[in-house]
Structure 1
Amino acid sequence: MMPPLMASLRSSISGIRMMSQTSVALAHHSRLKPEKITCMKSDESPVFYRDHVVDKLVRVILKDGKKEIARNAVYDALEIIKRRQYKQWAKAKEDEKSTIELNPFVVANTAIRNCRPLMKLQGVTRGAVTYQVPFPIEESEAEFRAMKMMREVCRQKAKHGETHLKDILATELLAASKNEGLTIQAKQELHKTCEANRAFAHYRG
């Protein structure tokens, strides 16, 4: 027969084992396996003025990884647009005020939408000759190409010392929202080149 001391010791050990198993079973999964915490992306943060087109324009315009400078330039351009549009609205007649857009984000979206090309040129090699073949373009890529064309126009103007980037971008966005400006001309030139090369369209396959 087992002594009382040994029996009580065994029962205590078995009780501790049962408690540890129960605590592990009832433990929260985060205590068993640490969760991986990732930072929220800058274009996913819950900011009230967040806009997809403006965020994408910031990423296209940035140079040398200086995103804060690009973001400030874009938002300063939007502020300039708002001031110019409000001045125009204040001077306009009552029947003309409804046609003036005061929201700079709407102006920017309209401008980029007007600048989106419908076709693109892509090199296709046949034999030893590379042909520039027109291809239809997807919406996301067309949006990127519109921003890229606008970026090149703004950089060329800034290189010639006309004024600051924010003023150039504001002027170009306002002009493009009315289907005017150098970016619209660049899109039209691209369409003319695609039309001139339509004889090579059978090389797409």
Structure 2
Amino acid sequence: MILRPCARLISTSTPSSSRYDAKVFREPITDKNELKKPLSVDDERNFLFIKAMKADETPTFYRNHVVDKLVRICMTDGRKEMSRKNVLSALEIIKRKQYQTWLKAPEEEKSKVELSAFKIVEEGINNCKPLMKLQGVTRGGTTYQVPFPIEDEEAEFRAMKMMRDICRQKSKHGETFFKDALAAELMLAYQNEGATIQAKQELHKTCEANRAYAHYRG
């Protein structure tokens, strides 16, 4: 008998427990502007411990929460460095294209060209976030696909997952490399276009078609 490795599941749920005691630990400050301000006299962080800052929440200019999360979602077989290389290469492609566009643009339109690849990624992923999701609910021996509202964190995860699968499909058939497909899809999503936007719209249409089962949510 041949044993096949199980698919790795990514959990989006909030952990029920933490190693940090809520009585003696407080959340760190991750905003650069807030770090420059002195703490108020009655701020509990003056005399309590501070939790360790997450790697993707550091206020350093070269780290970005959305990009770091995209790296984790695009990872295959635990090869995180390969995934990071692909995502950062996609950002470099976006940066170069936007810079070329800026050079060719008339002086009065240069200010409208977005040169930050981070902002393009953030806005592109934000445009791809679905508002609803379908979830199976069994009633009377029959399973119905019921539309549910979706929280922002899960919506971001689903948007990245849809984009990743589309880019993998393109690179699988030899149309292009993954980094090029990802850069192109992020640019299209930034303009509210592309295959990921279409996938989101198709999901919304399906949710609308199944709205008659919404009363099964409870």
Tell me which interval the TM-score lies in, with the shorter structure as reference length. Answer: 0.7 to 0.9
Give distance in 2, aligned partners of 1:196 and 1:44. Answer: 39
2:117 is the alignment partner of 1:104: yes
Q: 1:49 to 1:203 in 2, by over 3 A?
A: same
Higher relative contact order (CA 8 A, sep 6+): 1
Q: Which moved more, 1:89-98 or 1:160-169?
A: 89-98
| Superposed counterparts of 1:27-176, under 5 Å | 42-43=55-56, 47-176=60-189
Q: From the superposition, tell whether residues 178 and 80 of structure 1 become closer, same or farther in structure 2 (CA, over 3 Å).
A: same
Number of residues of Structure 1 aligned to a counterpart in Structure 2: 167
Unmatched tracts of structure 1, length 5 or more: 1-38
- Contact 2:57–2:65 under 8 Å retained in 1: no
User: Paired residue for 2:6?
Assistant: none
Q: Deviations over 1:104-154 (max 9, x none)?
A: 000000000000000000000001100000000000000000000000100
- Report the residue type matching 1:112 in the other structure: I
Could you state the TM-score of these two structures normalised by the residue count of structure 1? 0.78
In proportion to residue count, which structure has more helix? 1
Inter-partner Cα distance in structure 2 for 1:49 and 1:173 = 19
Cα pair distance change 1:120/1:163, threshold 3 Å: same
- C-alpha deviation, 1:44, in angstroms: 5.3
Structure with the greater alpha carbon radius of gyration: 1
Which stretches of structure 1, 4 residues or more, deviate above 6 A after TM superposition?
A: none
> What is the distance in 1 between the residues matched to 2:70 and 2:134?
22
Deviation at 1:42, TM superposition (A): 4.2
TM-score, normalization: structure 2?
A: 0.74
The equivalent residue for 2:208 is 195
Change (3 A) 1:135 1:185: same
Q: Percent identity?
A: 69
Aligned amino acid, residue 159 of structure 1 = K
Q: Deviations over 1:135-194 (max 9, x none)?
A: 000000000000000001000001110111111100000000000000000000000000
